A = this chain, B = another copy of it.
Amino acid sequence: MTSRLLLHSFFRSSTSFRVRAALAAKELEFDQETYNFRENAQRSENYLKRNPQGLVPTLTLQDGEDIHQSLAILEWLEEKHPHPPLLPADASGRARVRSLAHTIALDIHPINNLRVLNRLREQFGADDEQVKTWFLHWISLGFEAFETRLANEADTGKFCHGDSLSMADICLVAQSVNNQRFGFDETPFPTIRNIVERCLQIPAFQSAMPSAQPDAV
C-alpha cells in the first residue's frame, strides 16, 4: 500500500498528458515514474511485467493494481472520483463527448505516435519530411471533421460540450500540444483554437504540459 497514485509516464507522451490533466482536474495527488523513450525504457523487462504492451501510461493504484490505457484510466477516474465530472450527466451527452474524444484517441493519435513514425522510417525509409507529411495528413483529416462538428452542433459551448470541461477537451488539448512539434497550423480551425486557448489557461492543463514534467528535456 502506498499513499498516492503512481503514474508511469513520459513527458512528451500525449496519452500521459491526458491522464495528468484528468488527475489534476480532479485534484488528485500523484507521483510519476518516468520512462526515457529515447532509451526504450518503456520496454525494459521490469516495466513489461507491469504492462506487457510496453506503453505508457499505466496508473498504479494505492493497492498495487495497475490500470492500462489512458481512456480506460479516465473512465475509472470518472467512476471512482466523479467530482468534478469529465463526462456529462446524460447518456446522450456522454455519447457525444466520448465520440469526440475517440475521434482524437482512435482516429488521429494512434496513427501518428512515435512508434508508428519510427516504423515508417524503418520499413519505408521515410525521412523527416515524409514523416511530417504523414503526420499532417492525418491531423488535417481529423481536425477538419472535429472542427465541423464543434462549429455545427448545438451542444458545443465554451468547451467541446457545453461550458464544462470534459474528456473531449482533454484529448483535444493533448493532441494540439503534440501538433506543435510538427508545426501544424491550427488557424483554419477557429472553434478548436478557441477551446484549446481557454483550456490552456486552466491550471490542470498547465501542470500537464510536457515542459512541466520532471523528465522534460
Chain A interface residues toward B at CB < 8 A: 52-55, 65, 67-69, 71-73, 75-76, 79-80, 91-92, 94-96, 98-99, 102-103, 105-107, 109-111, 116, 119-120, 123-124, 126, 130, 133-134, 137, 141-142, 144-145, 148-149, 152
Majority secondary structure, A binding face: helix
A60 → B minimal CB distance (Å): 12
Min C-beta distance of A180 to chain B, whole Å: 22
On whether A53 and B107 interact (CB within 8 A), knowing A99-B72, A124-B126, the answer reads yes
What residues on B are CB-neighbors of A109 within 8 Å? 106
Q: Pick the contact of A111 from B79, B110, B144 — CB < 8 Å?
A: B110
CA distance A117 to B70 in the complex (A): 25
